[in-house]
Structure 1
Amino acid sequence: MTGPAAGAPAPAELGALAADLAREAGDLAKRRRTEGVSLAATKSTLADIVTEADREVEQLIRDRLRQERPADGFLGEESGAERGQSGLTWVVDPIDGTVNYAYGIPAYSVSIAVVEGEPEPERWQGVAAAVCAPGLGELFTGARGEGAWHDGIRLAVTTETPAGALLGTGFGYDPATHDGDLAMVRRVMPIARDLRRMGSAAIDLAYVAAGRLDGFFERGLNPWDFAAGAILVQEAGGAVSRLELDAQRPMVVAGGPSVHGRLREIISGDDSRM
């Protein structure tokens, strides 16, 4: 895939479109939740619920993008990948946190990123992002070189954690993975003030960008789970890494520079400073 053609829109323009799409999709998701969630199927286990709302929200986003950006590619949780000709790809999780959504817990989000380059996390460069949490009434946005924002306030990751780092994480739905996830929690707790497990990686990453969390780590995330949140963190002055790429469940690590570095050391097995 070639890079974006001459005359491609500025990151801020793409960020504005991502924000509009996320708001509209978030309104639809919230409305469908109020009307009553229709459970459609299950994914890896019974706990990982796919709802009709997931599919409807993703279709809304795809339809809008076909109108606004017909030459762009698309990578979505529910409808898969479609290559474009522009060098840009939209990476979409229509409802991140579907279990929260199904249970009526408001910590769910619509996550939309636009990236350039090959539609693979190690080969793309983030351009713009929006994470809308309609149940919480929040929208986080970011664009390359323009920063990350919430309610007109520019976001910045935390840089000092004298009382220890407040960390976010998540666990896989497969019970066979729980022992390993809990073992990793035990390894990082010496640097932690406390731990939060909210059920939406996109919200967790937005919170890192906003300084509400100092860091984040989770195994087994898909590209649409972290694409938008990673852009927010980076535009807020933080860092995001994917580790153990050859493993069945690679690790995503994010945070301010210091916390990100310590998490990388711990996860990579260099615990000498603990």
Structure 2
Amino acid sequence: MTDPAEPLLTELHDLALEAARRAGALLRDGRPDDLAVARTKSSPIDVVTEMDIAAEKLITGFLAEHRPQDGFLGEEGASSPGTSGIRWVIDPLDGTVNYLYGLPTWAVSIAAERDGETVVGVVEAPMRGETYHAVLGRGAHAGDRPLAVRPAPPFDQALLGTGFGYLKIRRERQAEVVRQLIPRVRDIRRGGSAAVDLCDVAAGRLDAYYERGLNPWDLAAGALVAREAGALTGGRPGEPESGELTVAASPGLFGPLQELLEELGAWHD
């Protein structure tokens, strides 16, 4: 018997892919080559902010045209509850500092929630030439290639990803956690985009990823991609991922890492 939800999930997935593709092209093609030293605006940050807002307007406009009853939650202010039970969670430009400096690790992140559960996730990384996408229960892919987490290594051979917040006191605390953690693992990477880091766990490019201070739009799509590739995700022990702490790892690594992060106090400033 066909699940009546299947056509809906396919529709949401296809719309998210197209919206992310369009926004990614806008950001890639609209970025001035000399953005980091731009003089045409009061500051380069203004240019990034304008691109960020333009990308979110493109995404919400496209989705609202096709599904006018859906709700939105976006980093740049899009917020409406909708009436359909579907809510789009959007980060139009995850990795803004990378974008500002011309580094390639930035992405468009779009997730669809149905009655509060994430059912579709798309992370478009234009400068990588990759689109990561997942539908609940259907696995995760980069383009047409299925994604699968790397088998868990011994803890001291694990390659971790993380990120740092903008507030000085939080960054100091996060640096202290890294200082205590790095002798116990292979190494730690800091990519600059939570959405891409989560997808790198899905693709086997990282064994695990953790970060404090993420917003729903930072993690919604990437966390689904990671889970559908076989990763476990969560926050503090027994809790879901949240702004307090987000952890994603292959199953054999997830528990030990989560426990160590709890011990190190990675969940508080």
TM range (shorter): 0.7 to 0.9
TM-score relative to the length of structure 1: 0.85
Picking from 249, 259, 262, the partner of 1:268 is 262
Matched, 1:71 2:64: no
The worse-fitting range, judged by mean Cα deviation, of 187-196 and 136-145 is 187-196
Percent sequence identity over aligned pairs: 44
Partner of 1:85: 83
CA RMSD between the two structures: 2.7
Q: Is the 8 A contact 2:136 2:228 kept in 1?
A: yes
Q: Deviations over 1:6-65 (max 9, x none)?
A: 7684323321221111111100010111466579899xxx99995210000000001001
Amino acid of the structure 2 residue aligned with 1:129: G
Distance in 1 (alpha carbons) for counterparts of 2:199 and 2:42? 28
Distance in 1 (alpha carbons) for counterparts of 2:110 and 2:87? 10
Picking from 98, 106, 109, the partner of 1:108 is 106
Picking from 139, 151, 155, the partner of 1:147 is 139
Amino acid of the structure 2 residue aligned with 1:197: R
Distance in 1 (alpha carbons) for counterparts of 2:189 and 2:74? 27
Q: How does 1:47-58 map to 2 (within 5 A)?
A: 51-58=49-56
Structure 2 residue matching 1:211: 3-state secondary structure: coil
Q: Which runs of 5+ in 2 are unaligned?
A: none
Distance in 1 (alpha carbons) for counterparts of 2:188 and 2:47? 25
Q: Is the 8 A contact 2:133 2:143 kept in 1?
A: no
Q: Which runs of 5+ in 1 are unaligned?
A: 1-5, 118-123
Amino acid of the structure 2 residue aligned with 1:250: E
Q: Is the 8 A contact 1:54 1:94 kept in 2?
A: yes
Partner of 1:158: 150
Partner of 1:177: 170
Would you say how many aligned residue pairs link Structure 1 and Structure 2? 255
Q: 1:74 to 1:159 in 2, by over 3 A?
A: same
Give the deviation of 1:110 after TM superposition.
0.2
Distance in 1 (alpha carbons) for counterparts of 2:141 and 2:160? 21
Give the deviation of 1:270 after TM superposition.
8.5
Distance in 2 (alpha carbons) for counterparts of 1:96 and 1:185? 22
Structure 2 residue matching 1:269: 3-state secondary structure: helix
Q: How does 1:100-139 map to 2 (within 5 A)?
A: 100-117=98-115, 124-139=116-131
Distance in 1 (alpha carbons) for counterparts of 2:109 and 2:5? 26
Partner of 2:13: 15
Structure 2 residue matching 1:51: 3-state secondary structure: helix
Q: Deviations over 1:59-85 (max 9, x none)?
A: 000100111111111000002321011
Distance in 2 (alpha carbons) for counterparts of 1:112 and 1:191? 34
Partner of 2:197: 204
Distance in 2 (alpha carbons) for counterparts of 1:10 and 1:24? 21
Distance in 1 (alpha carbons) for counterparts of 2:224 and 2:129? 21
Q: Is the 8 A contact 1:95 1:110 kept in 2?
A: yes
Q: Deviations over 1:142-161 (max 9, x none)?
A: 00111100131110111231
Partner of 1:255: 249
Question: Which has the larger share of helix?
Answer: 2
Give the deviation of 1:264 after TM superposition.
0.9
